[in-house]
Structure 1
């Protein structure tokens, strides 16, 4: 087929095809010696399409040549490595851009609070388990920070879970401040934060500084989208009807052994145990303290497990309000980390 037809079939321009022919990546099947017209075969369309797509992800010509000449597994590895480099470069560029914006106008940062580094790092990791990556709702990947004269509160939600933890500052905050910052950038900063005895949080117009005396300061950009009104949701929760206290370790083990996607918790009427079910395996009976009426409630494993695993302390407390109402999960003896998890409809096959 002539070069114009092949260009339309492959999605490449005629000029691009001439360039790739000269570079040796995609030579024409035949060149008319008299006219110089270039002709291609249908068998070359797949290679041309792959070449176009590799260039669309900004892969250099040398790497493109390596991918096109490699076997399936090697080609996949090379593509993955290239994409990882692109994402790393993009993240670095984004961080640099944020730093540049933070320095525009030389506006001083606002001191928010001083926190113990290891405590802050643990809290960030715990709360960020309730985030989600959704391009249409980037705020669900962020962490809400609220500071007043008494405490600093961290909150995150993916719409199915809401986790919040309250920290007592090492020094009383001198101001009230609230903002939502990038969860990914906070995750990246956690390693440095954990190794610092004290971290001073300072707010700017575009993010927060995490100032550390013995390590490099970290900067996390703010998110412009409005954070969900979680306080309104919490205030609207019905009264607790059934309360369960049990070993965090035993509950996690039961969830790990039940491999189904959905898990049922069944509270018995004698107040000494609960049943964990959800697939064809036998029910597991766990010792527990149960107050209130019998209740069966279902969860997605991906919702319940992280809510339990991040709880502080050896025992967890579940505050239940009904089979279709959010459940509050927290430590049985420490209330500074709380997770609200949404149940799902019962499994019809159970």
Structure 2
């Protein structure tokens, strides 16, 4: 078929086909020796389409050539490698853009709080376990920072979990401020934050600046979407009806041994029993200190397990509020990290 027809069928322009022919990636099936016209065969369409798709994801010519000549497994590996490079470059570009935007107009940063670097880094990593990337709700990938007169509160939620931790600054903030910071960028900055004895947070027009000891400042973007009104939800929580204190390690081990995606938690008689949601097998009884009425709840394993695993200390305290109500998971002796975990319906669908 002539080059124009092949171009329409492959989605490549005639100019692109000439370029790929000259580069050796897609030579024509035949070239008229007199006119120089190029002709392509139908069995070249697959290679042409793949070539177009690889270029659409900004793959360099050398990498395209390697993919076209590779077996499926190696080609897949090369694709993953390219995508990882693209994502890494995009993240670096976002961080550099945040630095540039922070400098626009020469506006000085508004001091938010000064905190111990290792403490802030730990809090960021712990709380961000409750964040998520959800299409249409980018704010759920963020970390909410709220500075009060004498504390800084970090909060993240995926709507099924909500983790929050309150930190006491080394210096009083002296003002109130709130903003939602890009969670991925803050997580990436945590390594530099951890190595600094003191980190000073400053609010900029489009992000926050983290001033670290003897190193270049770190910058993270602010997310513009509205943050869920978690304080209203916290204020409307029911009274605790049942409280259980149990070994964190034993509880995690019992959760890890569950075969399904859902797990049942039965709290009664100085025990917390962890079992399958369908009651097909006996649960694992764990010794616990229990007060209040017996209660049985069901959870998605991906909701309950992270809530327990991030608790600080050897024992976790579970505050239960009744069927279908959020459960508070926190350390039995250190309560500054708190996670709310939402159970699923009392009678799970088979």
> After TM superposition, is the score higher than 0.5?
yes
Q: Which residue matches 2:7?
A: 7
Deviations 1:178-233 (A, max 9, x none): 11111111111111111111111111111111112233321111111111100011
Which digits, 9 at most, give the CA deviation of each residue in 1:123-164, with x for residues without a partner?
Answer: 000000010112421110110111111111000111111100
> Structure 2: where are the runs of 5+ without partners?
none
* 8 Å Cα contact 2:329-2:340 kept in structure 1: yes
Q: TM-score normalised to the size of structure 1?
A: 0.95
Match of 1:19 in 2: 19
* Residues 1-350 of structure 1 aligned to structure 2 (within 5 Å): 1-268=1-268, 271-278=269-276, 281-345=281-345, 346-349=347-350
Shift of 1:324: 1.2
What is the rounded CA distance, in whole Å, between the counterparts of 1:80 and 1:152 in structure 2? 39
CA contact (8 A) 1:207 1:219 kept: yes
Per-residue CA shift, 1:295-319, capped at 9, x if unaligned? 2111111111110011111111111
Q: Secondary structure at the match of 1:296?
A: strand
Size of the alignment, in residue pairs?
347
**Is the CA contact (8 Å cut-off) linking 1:258 and 1:281 kept in structure 2?**
no
Question: Alpha-carbon deviations, 1:261-289, whole Å to 9, x = none?
Answer: 11110123xx2102111165541011112
- CA distance in 1: counterparts of 2:103 and 2:217, whole angstroms: 14
- The runs of 5 or more residues in structure 1 that have no matched partner are none
Q: CA RMSD in A?
A: 1.5
| SS state at 1:299 partner | strand
SS of residue matched to 1:334: coil
- Structure 2 SS opposite 1:307: helix
CA distance in 2, matches of 1:171, 1:214: 19
Cα pair 2:150 2:174 within 8 Å, conserved:
no
